[in-house]
Amino acid sequence: MTFISSLAGLITGLVLGVFGSGGGIITTPALLYLAHVPAKSAIAMSLGVIAITATVATLQHWRRGNVDFRVTVIFGLFSMAGTYLGARLGVDTPVVVQLAVFSLVMYAAAWKMLRPLPVHRSVGAAAVSPELCVTPRCMFRTGAVGVAVGMLAGLVGVGGGFLIVPALVLLSGLSIKQAIGTALAIVTLNSASGFLGYAGHVSINYTLVGTFSALAIAGSVLGAYLAHRLSANHLKRAFGVFLLFAASAILLKSVL
């Protein structure tokens, strides 16, 4: 790997650890443009890297009490199914379509995160109420959102955290820090499911996946440390701005 590729691996983990998402936004272009991996393989390998890195980052956040495993199970099971289906669909979808959809949805997620939240959702570290998703209506809503997020994640080769974090903040009542930690756990499940969806259908350089993952893990440890010390409001705004820049870069580089 070149120095720039190695730096991209470290930044992947750093972003994933801080924001609970965004790793695939860096990993896929890095593999595609810096390591010169074919597009379909880059998407599949990105999912593998994110699955490994997100596992380590999740453990870091869990130690600080920022992972809600009940939400992880409810959202994650539906999301995993969607990710696998999205990955199988992505095998035959033109790359330009995948990246265009990716960019547009990122813009929507950024807009959601930059909008002011109602007061009762933005104060402190609000926890999920005990009644979360015990009604058929809530289960249906959670399942629908999980499947949709998962399908998009599998289609474009990301863990889906950039959609999961806003969904958890806006729909479940989790604080931004809890949403980030919980999203990482869901991203781990999604990415592993998506990787399995591509495995056997595209070529995968497992040595490169392992090397990139090792560098990303180092970055994720630092990212989780920084996330614990950042203001929740600043973290939310920074996440939204990050999405805007990343979406614009991908749209300009790969679609337009």
Max Cα separation, the chain? 52
Mean pLDDT of 245-253: 78
- Contact status, residue 53 vs residue 16, Cβ threshold 8 Å: yes
Q: For residue 202, list its beta bridge partners.
A: 199
Q: For residue 199, list its beta bridge partners.
A: 202
Give the pLDDT of residue 206. Answer: 92
Give the pLDDT of residue 130. Answer: 39
Name the pTM for this structure: 0.72
Number of neighbours of residue 57 by Cβ within 10 angstroms = 33
**Statement: residue 121 has pLDDT above 50:** no
| 116 band by pLDDT with thresholds 50, 70 and 90 | low
Question: Measuring CA to CA, which residue among 35, 44, 33 is closest to residue 88?
Answer: 44
Listed in sequence order, the residues at least 6 apart from 63 whose beta carbon sits closer than 8 Å to its beta carbon are none
Q: Which two tokens stand for residue 166?
A: 């806003």
Alpha-carbon distance 176 to 208, whole Å?
33
Alpha helices in 91-198 (DSSP H): 95-114, 119-122, 136-156, 161-167, 176-198
Alpha-carbon distance 212 to 240, whole Å?
26
Alpha-carbon distance 32 to 215, whole Å?
17
Higher pLDDT, 171 or 203: 203
